Chain A
Amino acid sequence: MLEIKNLHASVEGEDQEILKGVNLTINKGEIHAIMGPNGSGKSTLAKVVSGHPEYEITDGEILFEGEDITELDADERAHLGMFLAFQYPIEVPGITNRTLLRESYNTIARENGREELDPIEFDDYLKEKLDVIDMKDEFLERSINTGFSGGEKKKNEVFQMAVLNPKLAFMDETDSGLDIDALKIVSDGINKIAGPENAIVLITHYQRLLNYITPDYVHVMMGGKIVKSAGKELALELEDQGYEQLEKEFSLNGEAQ
C-alpha cells in the first residue's frame, strides 16, 4: 500500500536534513509501530508523508498504491485515503466537529465518485461512529478541538479516523498524555477500526500502547533513519534496555560509514 524509498527531507529553506534516507513498506491489513527517541524524525516522517507544506523532499519517493504522491497537496493525499492523527490536534473555533466531518466526508466521497450523504443520513452515520470512541452526541456540536482537554483531543482524532475510514492512518503519539482509562478507550477504538483492508502506523515513545494494540512490525527510528525493524518482541526489548544500546550500535555504524 505504502512504499517509502530512500526518503530525504528537510524544513523548506533550511539545509539541515531531518529525514536521511527512510525506507519503509506497509501492506494492507498491517499494524506498524515506529518508536525512537525524541528528535529522531518520527513526527517529521508522518508530516512529510501527509504533505505538510513546511517540509521539502530532497530525495527519494513515496508511493501510495503504486502512485508517486510526493507532488500532491495534503488534501489530495487525504482524498486517496491517507489520514494523520495529529500529535497536537489544532483548534478551529466557530466550526463544529459535525460541520468539519460532513465537509470532509462528502469531499472525499465526491473525489472518489461515491455518493455524498445528506445531513440526516450523515447524522445517523456519525452516531454509529460515536460508539467507537465512547463519546456523547454533544461532542459533535462543539467547535473543533476548542477548549477540549488533552484526552478529548486525542479521542477526537480517533473519532475522525473512524468517520473518514482511511486506507492508511499515521497516528502521531496518539497515546501520549492519556490516563489509563482514556488509553484503553483510544486503543479499543483503534482496534475496532483496524481491519484487513486498511493499515495503521502508530508512532509512539512508549511500549505501553503496544500492550493494548498488537503491532505486526516494530521499527526503531534514530537520526532520521529506520535503524532496526522486527516483530512485536522488539518493543519489549526496547522497554527493557532503553534506546541506549541501539544508539551505541547506531553511532558505531555511523562512524564505520
Chain B
Amino acid sequence: MSETQALESMIGEEYKYGFSTDVEYEDFPKGLNEDIIRELSARKEEPEWMLEFRLKAYRAWTEMEEPSWFNATYEKPDFENIQYYSAPKNKPKLDSLDEVDPKIRETYEKLGIPLEEQKALAGVAVDAVFDSVSVFTSFKEKLAEAGVIFCSISEAIKNHPELVKKYMGSVVPARDNFYAALNSAVFSDGSFCYVPKDTICPMELSTYFRINNMNSGQFERTLIIAEDNSHVSYLEGCTAPMYDEHQLHAAVVELVAMDNAEIKYSTIQNWYSGDEEGKGGIYNFVTKRGACRGKNSKISWTQLETGSAVTLKYPSVILQGDNSIGEFYSVAVTNKKQQADTGTKMIHIGKNTKSTIISKGISAGRSNNSYRGEVKINKGADGARNYSVCDSMLIGQECGAHTFPYIESKNPTASVEHEASTSRVGEEQIFYLMQRGISEQDAISMIINGFVKEVLKELPLEFATEANALLDVKLEGSVG
C-alpha cells in the first residue's frame, strides 16, 4: 500500500457512532409558519415575550435570502419538510440517573459517555441534551452554591426571564443572517449559563448534543454571560447517528463577557459526515459569537471540527472593551466529500484590543477545506493588534485547501500580521521517521499530531483525552 493510500485509509475510518436509538417521539406537524411557531411556543409553555421574539424573527427570516457566498455546494434544505419540534415522549422530571430512559442511557454508553462516568468525572457538570429537550442536569447544587446558574434555555426563560430578555439576541440579533433568524424563530432548547460578579465557576461545564430524530432540524440556542471578574469554561461535544436524509443543524451561541471576565468555549464536533458520496451527512450552519463588552475581558474559542457533510461556522469575537482579548484556535479535518468553510471574525472596537487566530486545516479524500477569516479594526481601536496563522495540510491528490483572509484596518496605529502555509504529508517525512524505527502508522499520527498540537493544547485537560480519542478514530485504522 502506498503512503498516500495508507493515509487515506487511516483518515477514512468509518463513522463509529452510526446507530440510532428507538425512542418514541411526540407528534408535531412538519413545515414552518406562524401557527407552527405559536404551537411550538405553547408546548414549551413560554411567556408572551418569547413568542413575540420568535414571531419577529420568523417574519424577518421570510424576507431573507438563503446565503450562497461560501465555498461549498449542497442540496438546499427543504424547510417545509422539517419537523421543528421534537421531544422524547414522557419528558421525565428527574431526581436521579435511574429515572433516565434506559434506551437513552444505552445510547450514551455506546458513545462511551455513560452518565455515571460523566458524573464521576472530577469537576465536570453535565447537562445532557437528548434531541431538543434536556433530560438530565447534574451538579446543579454545587453550581448553585457558587451562585452560578447553569440550566437549559427553556428553564432559564421560565426562571430567569430578566436575564434572557436582556441578553438573548444582543450579540447575534435575530436578523443577523438567514440561519440565525431561523434559529431565533424555532430554537428548540440549549444551555444557559450565568456567572455572577467575582465568581470563578467551580467546574468545567459541558453539554453533549445528539441528533436522534429523522427529519428533525436541530436548533440549539446557547447563552453564556460572565459578569465582572468572573471566569467560566464551557465544553461542547457532538456525535450523531447515521441517516440517509440530510439533517440541518443551525445553532446560535452567544457569549457576553463583562469587565475582567473570561469565557473559554471549547467544541469537539464529530457529526455524521455522510457516505463516500457525502450522502446523508449533517449540515452544520452555526452562528457563534462572543462580545467582550467589558475592559480587560477575554473570549477564547477552541474547536476540533471533524464531522458534518457541510460545515459553515465562524466563531467570532467583538472586542468592545479596552484591552480585551479574542482568541480562535481551530482544527478542521475533512475527508471523503466533506466540505468545511470555517474561520472567525475579530472585530476590534476598543483600544489596545488583541486577537489571535490559529487555524489548522487537514484535508483528505475528495474533501474541500476552507479557512475564511475577517479581521476588522475600527477607527477608534488605537493600538489594536492581530496575529493570524492559517496552516493547511493535504493528504492525497484529490482534496482542496483554501484560505480567504479579509483584513480591514481603519486605524493606522493597529498592527495586523497574517501567516499562511500549505503542506502535504509527504513520503519523505514518513520515510525519515520510519528510518528512525517508527512504524508507518505511528509516523503518520506523529506528523498529524505535530501539526495540530498548537491548537489541541488549548483544550481543557478534561477534554484532551476525548480529543485524542477522536483523532485516533479519524486517523488510525487499516495500516499494517
Contact = CB atoms under 8 A, between A and B. Distances in A.
Interface stretch (A85-93, A121-129, A189-197, A239-247): A85-93
A93 B450 contact: yes
A108 interface: yes
A100 B434 CA distance: 11
Given A92-B447, A94-B449, A94-B450, A111 B437 contact: yes
A83 interface: yes
Contacts of B439: 75, 107
Contact of A103 (B3, B442, B452): B442
B438 A104 contact: yes
Contact of A104 (B431, B436, B447): B436
Nearest to B452: A94
Given A73-B440, A160-B436, A92 B450 contact: yes
Contacts of A180: none
B295 to A, nearest CB: 35
A92 B429 contact: yes
A95 interface: yes
B450 A95 contact: yes
B446 interface: yes
B158 interface: no
A234 to B, nearest CB: 29
Nearest to A110: B437
A207 interface: no
Contacts of A79: 437
B449 A73 contact: no
B452 to A, nearest CB: 8
Residue in A53, A54, A79 with the greatest tally of chain B CB atoms within 10 Å: A53
Contact of A50 (B2, B435, B453): B435
Contacts of B451: 93-94
Contacts of A51: 434-435
Given A53-B427, A54-B427, A95 B446 contact: yes
Interface string B450-480: 1111100000000000000000000000000
A209 B268 CA distance: 53
A95 B449 contact: yes
Contacts, number: 75
A73 B450 contact: no
A78 to B, nearest CB: 4
Contact of B437 (A78, A89, A92, A95): A78
A202 interface: no
Interface in B94-132: none
Interface string B75-87: 0000000000000
Given A53-B3, A53-B427, A92 B434 contact: no
A1 interface: no
B436 A164 contact: yes
A107 B3 CA distance: 21
A74 B431 contact: yes
A108 B447 contact: no
A125 to B, nearest CB: 16
A54 B432 CA distance: 13
Nearest to B453: A94
Nearest to A86: B432
A91 B432 CA distance: 9
A73 B438 CA distance: 11
Contacts of A77: 435
17 contacts: A52-B431, A53-B2, A54-B427, A75-B440, A78-B437, A83-B435, A84-B435, A90-B432, A92-B432, A92-B446, A92-B450, A94-B449, A94-B452, A95-B453, A100-B433, A100-B438, A111-B437
Interface of B: 2-3, 427-429, 431-440, 442, 446-447, 449-454
- Pick the 7 closest A-B CB pairs, nearest first: A94-B450, A78-B437, A90-B432, A74-B434, A95-B450, A104-B436, A94-B453
Given A78-B435, A86-B432, A86-B435, 5 more contacts: A75-B437, A84-B435, A94-B450, A95-B446, A164-B436
Interface of A: 50-54, 73-75, 77-79, 83-84, 86, 89-95, 100, 103-104, 107-108, 111, 143, 160, 164
